[in-house]
Amino acid sequence: MAETPGLRLAPGPHVHAGQTTRAIMWWVTLSLLPAYLWATYLFGVRVLGLTASGVVGAYLGEWLVNRLRQQRQTLRDGSAVLTGVLLVGTLSPGLPLWMPAIGGFMGIVFAKMLFGGLGYNIFNPALVARAFLMACFPLAMTTTWLAPRPGVWWAADAVTTASPLTVLKLEGVARAAELLGLGPAYYGQLLLGFRAGSIGEVSVVLVALGAAVLLRRRILSVYIPLSVLVGTGLVALASDVPLFHLLTGGLWFGAFYMATDYVTAPLLPRAQIIFGLGIGALTGIIRIWGGYPEGICYAILLWNAVTPALNQWFRPKRVAPEAIGV
Amino acid sequence: MSTHEAGISGELRRFLRGGVSLEEHKEATAQTPITTFIPAEVTIPLAQHLGPPAQAIVKRKQVVQRGELIATAEPNGAPVHASVTGTVARVALSPHPTLTEAPAIVITVDPNAAAPQCTDDPAWATLPRDVMLARIEAAGIVGLGGAAFPTYRKLRLPDGVRVDTVVLNGAECEPYLTSDHRLMLESPKDVLRGAWLLAQIIGAQRVVIGVEDNKSDAAVVLQAAVEQLSLSPAPDVLLCRTRYPQGAERQLVEALTGRRIPARGLPLQVGVLVQNVATAIACYQAVRYQQPLLDRVLTVTGPGIGHPMNLRVPIGTLVQDIVAHCGGLDARTAMVIAGGPMMGRALGRLDVPVIKGTGGLLFLRVDDVQREPYGPCISCAACLDACPLGLEPNQISIYTEAGRALETESFGTRECFECGCCAYVCPAERPLVQFIQIAKAAFQTGSAIGLGVRPGVVHG
């Protein structure tokens, strides 16, 4: 008898859990929506423009490299969009609109595609993009924080201000306390997000909300983010304002969205805890004793370089014992 | 009656590590009693077990009785019997579910034949061990859990090996399949007698039956039968957590006895013998009634088949006849799988017979098996969490993809028993089991077979 037409042959398993790379990328992107909408509410619609710019740059970078290498386009996996969105989360809202596009493009091309594309990069592409912009446009990157003006969607006369961490670094603790009023009311504002800061980081609560969605969907696990927070907290005890360090800057955004990037973070919980503590501690050290007001970006990038070694040192433990005398 | 009332004691047994929680899909047939279907013709392959194929001893046009020996066993093989009464139509190469094509004896069923008499040996329980073993060997029984290893070979322990525990596998952890579940519900006493018998043969002092807690009704029925039969030693009925691959030998032994089988080793090394419940019934029938293994109980199920059911069919029944009996195929049926969805094997054609090791027939539609082309590993570690052995499927796949399969030994390639948990959870939908199979093949041949793909390129 003839072969029955149309029957598909494939190796097992023949069923799948359903969580795909693309779904993960889009869930992470979507989980950022509350934080980014909040930033839009505070700083105006230019936030959306910057986000679009970052995505376009990242997208173009990936498309171009695939094109030049004559490879199948990989844009459908959603990772380029996520890189663009994440990059913008680390940027100040007053930047020129074209700048995230440059960053996104360079991050994707140099940190991701030249390493072989998704899964093969060593450094977090969004953070490489930020570091690149920092090196090229230091003035714009550090002086374009906007004072929050809730509900003012469109302002030609946006007022720049200093970020809380910049105030601390430049003015010292005593003066910062005077200027910002480091009391419970101020910490409450930091938590909720009424403050100047990068687009993704301003509201700790909303970053945590997005992360909670990802934790619930088992896209994230808590090992890395919690140990980052603990690491920074421990080092910050050496400063006079540990709580201030825990609630400002990109700590939460970095801990939950940057340090947790699958590709550039270690595989196993024990390695992830060391990785997280290392990032957290380094962040605190840079902030308190280093030259920059904020340190999470470089802390993560440096620890990205340690990831392959951590994966070598920490391997899964076999269940089956080795045979003895049988 | 709850499992508690039935006296099933203790907490749920579980294996140590990994595994996945699967959608069960057992509801379609879990409540459906086993019915019998006899086709007009059967195709009985000579190769249905691990080991050399049997040698045919019948000729065309010869009339054979159900239960008659039609092919004798080669050393380390298993004999084959006529599963129906009828006339041999031909002895020829025929389509085979796993071997593509293999010699088979085709018998046209005589619909008017009387059911053959079976002899009941009243002294069955007190027979010497070697007589019991000889009857199991003569019955052509192989492991019915899927591996199809001749059972008498498993029961003939190597010198110096002592086995104190028989573990009976009633886990049936593959989704969709319910035939073992139904056997436990419908013939609990035969299951228990079979298990007891196996313990007698190998001199084990303990019998443990592991049932997943999604089949607690079967555990209750078995426990009630334990109390009625008063066998010595009395089998322990233990509930296991429903989690794939609970029914794999290593995981079951670990969950029920706490013993850990050495890497690449056998349960024998920790004093345990594992048998499937259907095999236990077959052994009981072979010893008591001297009845060969003639029928296969299997679940015919999945969204692609008209009427899902649990069927008892003569060995050699063609899949296409079963399809017709079960209400035909859905037009969107895209895959037919012999076995369960995790470890079952896709069939390319429907004119292949059910053999001794066929545990089920699963019919899936296009929507059920729709897949994206696979992508690069994103180091999410989901496979590391899922692997019940603590192996590294991610690394094996990456190395194999790069043509470096020979370097994967340290990631556990040889230990893998291909349960498929890793590939089930992989978000990049990488065919991790297949990569591991390729790596194993590379060890066999000593040459690293590269797939010739560039990293990052998706390919179907």
- What tokens does A147 get? 């004072």
CB-based burial, A48-80: b 16+ in 10 Å, e otherwise: bebbbbbbbbbbbbbbebbeeeeeeebeebbbb
Residue-wise pLDDT for A221-261, tens only, equals: 999 999 999 999 999 999 989 999 999 889 999 999 999 99
Looking at chain B, which residue has its C-alpha nearest residue A326? B269
- What tokens does A159 get? 């007022």
The answer to whether the CB of A270 falls within 8 A of the CB of A278 is no
Instruction: Count other Cβ atoms within 10 Å, centred on residue B41.
Output: 17
A/B interface, count of CB pairs below 8 Å: 179
Residue B269 main-chain phi, psi, to 5 deg: -70, -20
Looking at chain A, which residue has its C-alpha nearest residue B347? A9
Taking CA atoms, B108 is separated from B112, B140, B328, in Å, by: 12, 21, 22
Beta carbons of B347 and A320 less than 8 Å apart: no
pLDDT, mean of residues A70-88: 93
Looking at chain A, which residue has its C-alpha nearest residue B269? A326
The answer to whether the CB of B434 falls within 8 A of the CB of A13 is no
Q: What confidence tier does B451 reach under pLDDT thresholds 50, 70, 90? A: low
The answer to whether the CB of A214 falls within 8 A of the CB of A27 is yes
Percent helix, strand and coil across chain A, each rounded to 5?
A: 60, 0, 35
Residue A319 has pLDDT above 80, yes or no: yes
Contacts of B95 in chain A (CB under 8 A): 1
% chain A with pLDDT above 90? 71
pLDDT, mean of residues B179-205: 96
Ordered alpha helix ranges (H), B203-291:
216-229, 249-257, 277-289
Beta carbons of A117 and B390 less than 8 Å apart: no
Residue B23 has pLDDT above 70, yes or no: yes
Distance CA B243, CA B329 (A): 30
Q: What confidence tier does B119 reach under pLDDT thresholds 50, 70, 90? A: confident
Ordered alpha helix ranges (H), A177-268:
184-192, 204-216, 223-236, 242-247, 251-253
Distance CA B280, CA B382 (A): 37
Q: What confidence tier does B449 reach under pLDDT thresholds 50, 70, 90? A: low
Question: Among residues A158, A266, A121, A34, which one has the least CA distance to residue A129?
Answer: A121
Q: How many residues are given for chain A?
A: 326
Residue-wise pLDDT for B242-298, tens only, equals: 999 999 999 999 999 999 999 989 999 999 999 999 999 999 999 999 999 999 999
Provide the pLDDT for residue B8: 65
Q: What ipTM was estimated for this complex?
A: 0.92
The answer to whether the CB of A61 falls within 8 A of the CB of A108 is yes
The answer to whether the CB of B180 falls within 8 A of the CB of B276 is yes
Q: What is the C-alpha end-to-end distance of chain B, expressed in Å?
A: 50
Distance CA A255, CA A250 (A): 8
Provide the pLDDT for residue B16: 87
Instruction: Count other Cβ atoms within 10 Å, centred on residue A1.
Output: 9
Residue-wise pLDDT for B55-113, tens only, equals: 999 999 999 999 999 999 999 899 999 999 999 999 999 999 988 899 999 999 999 88
Beta carbons of B392 and A324 less than 8 Å apart: no
Distance CA A326, CA B27 (A): 44
- Residue of A21, A65, A68, A326 to mutate for B, most B C-beta atoms under 10 A: A21
Instruction: Count other Cβ atoms within 10 Å, centred on residue B418.
Output: 20
Average pLDDT over chain A reads 92
Number of H helices, E strands in chain B: 13, 17
Beta carbons of B378 and A21 less than 8 Å apart: yes
Exposed, middle or buried by CB within 10 Å (0-12, 13-18, 19+), for B61?
exposed
Q: What confidence tier does B4 reach under pLDDT thresholds 50, 70, 90? A: low
Residue B158 touches partner A, C-beta closer than 8 Å: no
B349: left (phi over 0), alpha (psi -120 to 50) or beta: beta
Q: Note which residues in 304-333 of chain B have CB less than 8 A from chain A.
A: 333
Neighbouring-strand partners of residue B107: B42, B88
The answer to whether the CB of B84 falls within 8 A of the CB of B111 is no
Provide the pLDDT for residue A71: 87
Residue B334 has pLDDT above 80, yes or no: yes
| Residue carrying the six token digits 């290498």 | A69
Q: What confidence tier does B454 reach under pLDDT thresholds 50, 70, 90? A: very low
Residue-wise pLDDT for B336-363, tens only, equals: 999 999 999 999 999 999 999 998 999 9
Q: In what order do the strands lie in the sheet with B80-81?
A: B55-56, B69-72, B80-81
Contacts of A11 in chain B (CB under 8 A): 346, 431, 433-434, 437
Residue A2 has pLDDT above 50, yes or no: no
Closest Cα in chain A, distance from residue B443 (Å): 20
- Residue of A3, A8, A15 to mutate for B, most B C-beta atoms under 10 A: A15
Distance CA A219, CA A27 (A): 8
Q: What confidence tier does B457 reach under pLDDT thresholds 50, 70, 90? A: very low
Beta carbons of B376 and A120 less than 8 Å apart: yes
% chain A with pLDDT above 70? 97
Distance CA A75, CA A77 (A): 5
| Residue carrying the six token digits 């459906």 | B32
Provide the pLDDT for residue B445: 83
Contacts of B431 in chain A (CB under 8 A): 11
Contacts of A7 in chain B (CB under 8 A): 333-336, 346-350
Three-state DSSP class for residue B31: coil
Beta carbons of A74 and B425 less than 8 Å apart: no
Q: In what order do the strands lie in the sheet with B100-109?
A: B41-45, B100-109, B86-96, B63-64
Taking CA atoms, A199 is separated from A77, B212, B242, B374, in Å, by: 24, 51, 46, 34
Neighbouring-strand partners of residue B460: none
Distance CA B224, CA B237 (A): 10
Distance CA A245, CA A257 (A): 18
> Residue B5: which residues within 8 A CB-CB, separation 6 or more?
none
pTM: 0.92
Q: Which residue has the higher pLDDT, A170 or B208?
A: B208
Distance CA B309, CA B234 (A): 33
Residue B188 touches partner A, C-beta closer than 8 Å: no
Beta carbons of B381 and A116 less than 8 Å apart: no
Residue-wise pLDDT for A171-183, tens only, equals: 888 888 888 888 8
Across A57-66, A93-102, B85-94, B227-236, least confident range: B227-236
Q: Note which residues in 249-278 of chain B have CB less than 8 A from chain A.
A: 250, 254, 260-265, 269
Three-state DSSP class for residue A246: helix
Q: What confidence tier does B11 reach under pLDDT thresholds 50, 70, 90? A: confident
Q: What confidence tier does B335 reach under pLDDT thresholds 50, 70, 90? A: very high
Q: What confidence tier does B455 reach under pLDDT thresholds 50, 70, 90? A: very low
- What tokens does A19 get? 């969580």
DSSP state letter for B267: G
Who among B263, B337, B349 is closest to A321 (CB)? Answer: B263
The answer to whether the CB of B387 falls within 8 A of the CB of B346 is no
Question: Among residues B202, B167, B177, which one has the least CA distance to residue B279?
Answer: B167
Contacts of B335 in chain A (CB under 8 A): 7-8, 10, 14
